[in-house]
Chains A and B, each alone.
Chain A
Amino acid sequence: MSAASVIADWSAPNQERARRLLETYPEERSAVMPLLYLASLEHGYLTSAGMTQVAQLTGLTSAQVQSVASFYTMFKRDHVGRYLISVCTSISCYLLGADDVLAAVETETTARDGTTSVDGAFTVEHVECIGACGGAPAVQVNYELVEGVLPEKATALCKWLRETSPDVVMTDAMQKSFGGVRSFDWGIGEEQGAVAPVPAFGPYGSTGGESAR
């Protein structure tokens, strides 16, 4: 089966990205995870249909793809809100009040940990260490990081998301408005960010802006 016919319902750029991904690796199976991100981007989350498409692209069974996908926490196999708020509650963030941050986020978004708000705007989850311990407590919005987010700032961040409903969320911009202590000097800001609850990275096509090189 040709790749194009398997993912005919994907956007043209993502079809092209899928094709390139399959060529990038010495063995096609290596493209499974990047393709799973693409499938998630296409369908809003990782649907059964998406897993089957990835299976057909890589010559695996759907069961094999499901097995791989379910191993990783970032392939969401259920509906995800427009903004995925991940609150780190691992040790360093915990020591600096992460539980209060999580509570603040739950209150403001009306989504309990592990669930999606009724209006579909937010999915809230607590996560293990996201490598921002020097800037604890830390949260991510669609995997875009904000460091030094004390509870009040977290509330403000969620409010801002609800009220302005930005199409693209950018780590530097959010850090500026809602962040505090950082793990290190971030340097000049980036003009790009995430358009969906999928890590915004060139090959997955969710960066929402041209690279500011």
Chain B
Amino acid sequence: MPERPPPEMVTITIDGREVEVPQGEYIIKVAEDLGTYIPRFCYHPRMTPVGLCRMCLVEVETPRGRLLTTACNTPVAPEMIVDTESAVVQKAQEGILEFLLINHPLDCPVCDKGGECPLQDQTVAYGPGESRFVEEKRHFEKPIPLSDIVLMDRERCILCARCTRFSEEVSGDPLIEFVGRGNQTHVITFPDEPFASYFSGNTVEICPVGALTAKPYRFKARPWDLEAIESVSMVDASGASISIETSQNEVVRINGIDNDATNHGWLSDKDRFIFQAVNSENRLTAPLVRDDAGNLQPTSWGEALDRVADALGSVRGDEVASIGGANNTNEEAFALGKFLRSVVMTPHIDVQVGDALNPDFLVGITPRAEIRDLDRAATILVWAGDLKEEFPTLYLRVRRAVTQMGAKLVVVHPRRTGLDDLAAAKITYRPGEGPEVVRKLAAGADADYAAARELLTAGSVTALIGLTGRAEDPRLAEVVAAYALDLPGAKVLPLARRGNVFGGLDMGLAPTLLPGRVPVTSESGRAELESAWGPLPDAVGRDAAAILAGLAEGEVKVLLLVGADPVRDGRNPDSARAALAAADFVVSFDMFLNDSNQHAAVVLPVDGFAETEGTVTNVEGRVQKAYRSMTWDRLVWGPERDGVVMPDGPGIQELQYTPDGGGVRSTAGRLALHSGRVLYDAGTRNVQSPALAALVPDPAVYLHPRDASALALTDSQVVDVTGEFGAVRLPVRIDATLAEGSAYVPANLESTWMLGVPDVVTIEASSAEEVAE
């Protein structure tokens, strides 16, 4: 990989010590790296310095004499002489603290930040003794909610502009801003326009005082009671580093950890607050078995496990199948895979739930990009789901690459995405017509795509490729990837969304893959594994869809659902339900009851996120430890331990560029369905987290204005949306960002999932006024 040239070093003197430091780095950073902590409030290493709080003043020798200057925005220069602790500096810092405190309420005993408050800490370390301020303090109305999640206490705010900068610069939704001037300045939203940002929780975390607080944590614990452990967020597969903080054996808070490889410390609110599901009242606590009357009843572990063992023992190995496992650690996935293949002797294993890309593609693409490649890319191609909805921290990373690192962005999607405002070129296409787009991009003739093509051939390309929606033909992604890999300096990051899906694939939870990305069809690979595990089935197994079909046909009899809900997440809810009903025996491992496992014979409660320990593999293939503060570069499963060797290259044949891949879908008068996901969905964990449940948007069908008028439909009108697998009643939203001839239905909301994922839908005005729940 072409690394950036190392920065030039310059010699400076800090506090009498001569040191070599990278030119252009800010004094505050250089000093910190040398072990000298310069106090600060507004400086944040991941945001542009603004030099507002003036806490970081140091003295620098200049031709005009010794000058006080802010260390947070002054770059080091050759021969610079810096004094961070002179009497002048100390007096200035004391002064700043006194100024900050005169209007501060000093309500530390009742403040959530008390105990971990930089203002409190620095007052102890650098502050004056007693306040000489005898006037009345500045008053604002007590805490006011900025959103359903975040509250603002303006009296505590020290106007460091971290929250406003984050919103404007990092997340790109400037909804909280400075208002007023001078001594009356405060931070607030616009009346009736809440701080509805997917990333609002970050402002709470970086607020250096207790001005911004988050409802889920308010008054929950005192910092000194907290135990923090390092872990990995499993909301999506980006591998965001987090710190899980518990008090009295209960998770009370999640904060981000600055990991340069992944999330830079930022989290989506879903990453941050979904832990509430772990604490949910509705969690399963005891094993459930179905009684004679057909009801699930709590029972003992012994009885429940006996039933499962009996069921497994009563059928042939290849009559057993397993769906799911993406919420598990690599170790759990490995154990599950080994059990299924070498004990049960079944090849029918799929970590994905039938809404997925070819596993060989996901793990086999090469060269596979790292997230960090985004920082160096000349052009970024995003042809995938809406990252803001599906991969929020990755979205921030792309945003940063474009707004701060000069990358140009090309977005291809059937509808407007969260990244469109930043895109130098955007291609909107009708679902089903993706192959046409690839053909035109590759052929280099179509004037429409000239801008995109120019950007894509201008310099090194990092391509993020996945399914734009669930109705998309999965093979399209492979075609797009094959096209992208022909671009200059191209690397591809294949996107699948679920937490540890890549770990699951690496551990062999796929019908075509053995652990270590070894194809089932590889004789030598299998032989090597058999030497450690004993005999293994040699067939390629069924994927999730084929497993469900097999259940319906009676060829598969026993099903393991490992944190999976195929009724909701598959393509056709009715047939999934029928398949489950046809099974001899379904055992579900889950934290909650859901639409799939309420028909199971046995439901086994499992540990949730934050309760298990192990490793997790993210979208780049990066293996990270959940629970211990370190980032492993790559996990190697040594043969001496488990008989698995990670291959160097892809274990699959080269992907071929087949312009017809997937084919162009005929819609014949009906609308092509775009079935994308939204961040706040009706999924169980989201709904079980009170902070997030309120944010789930109302379901609707989105139509292009011309299609709506052709159908004589108006905004908000109630329609019946009918597809191959069912119908659902939804209000219309007019949406000019859609490709004409398509309809967008967010896939993962209450009621919309019942539509399933047909290729095309018809839309008719409904006679009923009300939308069905």
Contacts and interface: CB of A to CB of B under 8 A. Distances in A.
Direct A–B contact present (CB less than 8 angstroms): yes
Interface of A: 48, 51-52, 60-64, 66-67, 70-72
A66 B181 contact: no
B174 A64 contact: yes
Contacts, number: 35
Given A61-B175, A63-B190, A67-B178, 20 more contacts: A48-B190, A48-B192, A51-B190, A60-B174, A61-B173, A61-B174, A61-B193, A62-B193, A63-B175, A63-B176, A63-B177, A63-B189, A63-B193, A64-B177, A66-B177, A66-B190, A67-B177, A67-B179, A70-B179, A71-B181
A48 B179 CA distance: 14
Contacts of A67: 177-179
Contact of B179 (A52, A61, A66): A66
A189 to B, nearest CB: 35
Interface in B166-200: 173-181, 189-193
List of 4 A-B pairs having minimum Cβ-Cβ separation, nearest first = A67-B177, A62-B190, A63-B190, A70-B179
Most chain B Cβ neighbours within 10 Å, of A64, A67, A72: A67
Contact of B180 (A48, A62, A70): A70
10 contacts: A48-B190, A48-B192, A51-B190, A61-B173, A61-B175, A61-B190, A62-B190, A62-B193, A66-B177, A71-B181
Contact of B174 (A51, A63, A70, A71): A63
A66 to B, nearest CB: 5
A62 B195 CA distance: 12
Contacts of B176: 63
Contacts of A52: 190
B732 to A, nearest CB: 19
Contacts of A72: 181
Interface in B133-180: 173-180
A67 B168 CA distance: 13
Contacts of A61: 173-175, 190, 193
A60 B193 CA distance: 13
B172 to A, nearest CB: 10
Contacts of A51: 190
Contacts of A60: 174
Interface of B: 173-181, 189-193
Nearest to A69: B179
Contacts of B193: 61-63
A52 B189 CA distance: 13
B742 to A, nearest CB: 22
Contacts of A48: 190-192
B144 to A, nearest CB: 14
* Max count, chain B CB within 10 A of own CB: residue among A52, A61, A63, A66: A63
Nearest to A48: B191
Contacts of B175: 61, 63
A67 B165 CA distance: 13
A62 B192 CA distance: 10
Contacts of A71: 178, 180-181
A48 B173 CA distance: 19
B729 to A, nearest CB: 29
Contacts of B191: 48
Contacts of B192: 48
Contacts of A70: 179-181
Nearest to A64: B174
Nearest to B179: A70
A63 B177 CA distance: 6
Nearest to A51: B190
Nearest to A55: B190
Contacts of B174: 60-61, 63-64
B21 to A, nearest CB: 37
Nearest to B181: A71
Most buried by A among B175, B178, B179, B190: B190
A4 to B, nearest CB: 17
A64 to B, nearest CB: 5
A8 B163 CA distance: 35
A85 to B, nearest CB: 22
A91 B119 CA distance: 37
Contacts of B180: 70-71
Contacts of A62: 190, 193
A51 B179 CA distance: 13
A64 B175 CA distance: 7
Nearest to A61: B174
Contacts of B190: 48, 51-52, 61-63, 66
A63 to B, nearest CB: 4
Contacts of B189: 63
A48 B177 CA distance: 15
B184 to A, nearest CB: 9
A63 B192 CA distance: 10
Nearest to A72: B181
Nearest to A60: B174
A111 B189 CA distance: 31
A33 to B, nearest CB: 14
A48 B188 CA distance: 14
A129 B176 CA distance: 32
B521 to A, nearest CB: 54
A4 B177 CA distance: 27
A64 B177 CA distance: 6
A100 to B, nearest CB: 27
Nearest to A73: B181
A47 to B, nearest CB: 10
A106 B523 CA distance: 97
A162 to B, nearest CB: 32
Contacts of B179: 66-67, 70
B360 to A, nearest CB: 44
